Structure 1
């Protein structure tokens, strides 16, 4: 994983519609040591909420978002630190020019319907 997927909810160029509650839940999770997985790697076959599997990968858009918005970046989240330790991604892989949201306010304003 070297960049957010083409339709990552953290990319500015994507018209992504989340309920305000879901958008807040995502931010609450990633700022409180919860993992946030790429939606393309979550199993949605049985539920619209999805199920994380052993093949699920951390959301690289969330990694970049944390790097842009939170003191300590992605290392501020224990689950993303595990991702670094397990070599799921490396800090050298971060392409900071990726067009991801630069603030919580911007994310909430743009993705909420």
Structure 2
């Protein structure tokens, strides 16, 4: 994983509609050590909320969003540090990415 998927909700160019509550919950989660998995790797066959499986991968858009917005970047989240240890992504893959939202306010504005 070296880039967000083409329809990642953290990309500014993607039209994605979430409730304000859902957007807030995502941001609260990733800033409080919760994992956020790529929607393409979550099993939605039994629930609209989806089920994380052993094959689920961390969302690289969320990784870059943290890099762009939070002191300590993705390493500020323990689950993303585990992703580094499991080699889901590497520090060399991380970069400032203008295609990803650059602030919490812009993310909420863009997906709500």
TM-score, length basis structure 1: 0.96
- Paired residues in the alignment total 112
Q: What residue number does 1:71 align with?
A: 71
TM-score, length basis structure 2: 0.97
CA drift of 1:91 comes to: 1.2
- Which runs of 5 or more structure 1 residues have no equivalent in the other structure? none
Residues 1:89 and 2:89 aligned together: yes
- Which runs of 5 or more structure 2 residues have no equivalent in the other structure? none
Q: What residue number does 2:6 align with?
A: 6
d(CA) in 1 for partners of 2:73, 2:94? 11
d(CA) in 1 for partners of 2:15, 2:97? 19
CA RMSD of superposed structures (Å) = 0.8
| Matched position secondary structure for 1:63 | helix
Q: What residue number does 2:27 align with?
A: 27
d(CA) in 2 for partners of 1:106, 1:93? 23
d(CA) in 2 for partners of 1:33, 1:85? 15
Q: Residues 47-105 of structure 1, C-alpha deviation per residue, up to 9 Å, x if partnerless?
A: 00000000000000000000000000000000000000111100101243350000000
Q: What residue number does 1:110 align with?
A: 110
Q: What residue number does 1:17 align with?
A: 17
Checking the alignment, whether the CA contact within 8 Å between 2:67 and 2:95 is kept in structure 1 is no
d(CA) in 2 for partners of 1:98, 1:2? 15
